[in-house]
Structure 1
Amino acid sequence: MRLRSRALAVLVALTASLPLGSPAGAQVAHDVSAAATYRGEGDDVVRVPVMAGPAIVKGTHSGESNFIVWAVAGGKQVDLVANEVGEYKGVRAFNTVFPRKVRALEVTADGAWTLQVLPITNARYWPIKAKGAGPDVIRLTAPLRAARRITLRHQGESNFIVWALDNRGRTTKLLANRVGDYRGRVLLPAGTRYATVEADGAWSIAR
């Protein structure tokens, strides 16, 4: 009897130590590394796990007209995640300037699409030379200790825009903003952990 009472007391103590108001779904908002891929066709509003910090959206679209995706917080469009015409495949970041609690993505499309929302820490690894085609977000294993000269290349017809982001995923420096083909050397600031790339063609970043 005394043993059962002691066991009950331990159970009560453990229960009391658990945070209140934390439903099972709340964990998904903080750990969405295995987030589901949202699929649809045409216009829609998709509820996503709450993202209060910098995040990325991996998206695709099969259509001929505008494909526009907005991050929605507080019932308002706060970050333009995608804005393309026709076919689309890419990765873009949001919440990198003024982070808000994003709870949904508003989609304008004329074809089938997919979206996946992930923390910015899930961006693909940035080796000595990163290559891609189209919009992307890349990640160093650790913040850059000292400023470094890097070489940027782009072969395309539209905007080529590259931003440096710090360890928190906040935008720090515009590295390139050109239209069409481009090759140049720029200084990557100390503390850089991520970079976002906006491009319509093949690109590379060598450090």
Structure 2
Amino acid sequence: MRLRLRALAALTVLSAAFLATPPAQAASTLTATAATYRGEGDDVVRIPATSVPSIVKATYQGESNFIVWALDSSGKQAALVANAVGDYKGTRAFNTIGTRKIRSLEVTADGAWTLQVLPITKARSWSINVKGTGMDVLRLATPTRAARPITLRHQGESNFIVWSLDARGRSTKLLANKIGNYRGRVMLPAGTRYATIEADGTWSIAR
């Protein structure tokens, strides 16, 4: 009888330990790889929950509004990851400011779209000198050791917004916030690893 009670007690302890294991590790493992979602028209896409900086690569073919919001666990809009009219291709980040747990993406569209969700470490490689068009997220091989001046250029009609981010993917400094064509020399902070670009035209970053 005592042996049976001991075996039951041991089983109870193991079960409790298993149930007490937090699910956060599973969520972070899922966000370490790319997940691609496809659809057409309005939809809500469930993604592996994450509170770390991440990016969404989006494409869209349609004539009307294409809007994508990252929603937190309560269904509230936490970050705008796409906002365009007509065909679109771009990359935007979320969770670069704050640590809200994102659980889904809300899509407003009248055509076909794709969404690829990745950790920010999968952003496009950046060697300080870089060119692009529209929305993008850039990644240096290693964080900058010291502050350095860089030149920003933009040819477009709408907002041109550039943020520097640290090695964790958190926003550190607003480098530019202009409308229309722009050229300026700004200081890139020490410790910068990433940059986010919001633009509607062509742009470049140079030493």
TM-score range, shorter chain: 0.7 to 0.9
- Normalised by the length of structure 1, the TM-score is 0.86
Deviations 1:7-47 (A, max 9, x none): xxxxxxxx99x9657799x6464244542310011100000
In structure 1, the residue corresponding to 2:35 is in which secondary structure?
A: coil
Distance (whole Å) between structure 1 residues aligned to residue 182 and residue 18 of structure 2: 53
| Equivalent residue, structure 1, for 2:197 | 197
Deviation of 1:76 after TM superposition, in Å, equals 1.1
Specify the alignment match of 2:55 in structure 1.
Answer: 56
**CA drift at 1:185:** 0.6
Amino-acid identity (%): 69
Counterparts of 2:110 and 2:200 in 1: how far apart (Å)? 20
Match of 1:8 in 2: none
Whichever residue aligns with residue 71 of structure 1, its letter is A
Change (3 A) 1:189 1:117: same
List, as ranges, runs of 4+ consecutive aligned residues in structure 1 with deviation greater than 4 Å: 18-24
Gaps of 5+ in 2: 1-13
Distance 2:54 2:119 in 1: 4
Which runs of no fewer than 5 residues in structure 1 stay unpaired? Answer: 1-14
* CA root-mean-square deviation: 2.2
Bigger shift: 29-38 or 188-197? 29-38
CA 185–50 in structure 1, closer or farther in 2 if over 3 Å, else same = same
CA distance in 1, matches of 2:126, 2:75: 35
What does 1:111-130 correspond to in 2, within 5 Å?
Answer: 111-130=111-130
In 2, the alpha carbon distance for the partners of 1:196 and 1:155 equals 17
Residues in 2 aligned to 1:149 and 1:111: alpha-carbon distance in whole angstroms = 42
Aligned length: 193
- Quote the Cα distance in structure 1 between the aligned partners of 2:45 and 2:182: 36
**Matched letter for residue 87 of structure 2:** E
For 1:37, what is the secondary structure of its paired residue? strand
Is 2:90 the partner of 1:90?
yes
Q: TM (normalized to structure 2)? A: 0.86
Q: Can you list the C-alpha shifts for 1:182-203, whole angstroms capped at 9, x where unaligned?
A: 1111000111111000011111
Amino acid of the residue matched to residue 136 of structure 2?
A: D
Q: Supply the distance in 2 between the matched residues of 1:131 and 1:20 (Cα, whole angstroms).
A: 50
* Number of the residue aligned with 2:166: 166
- 2:37 and 2:186 map into 1 onto residues whose CA distance is 37
Check conservation: 1:33, 1:122, Cα contact below 8 A: no
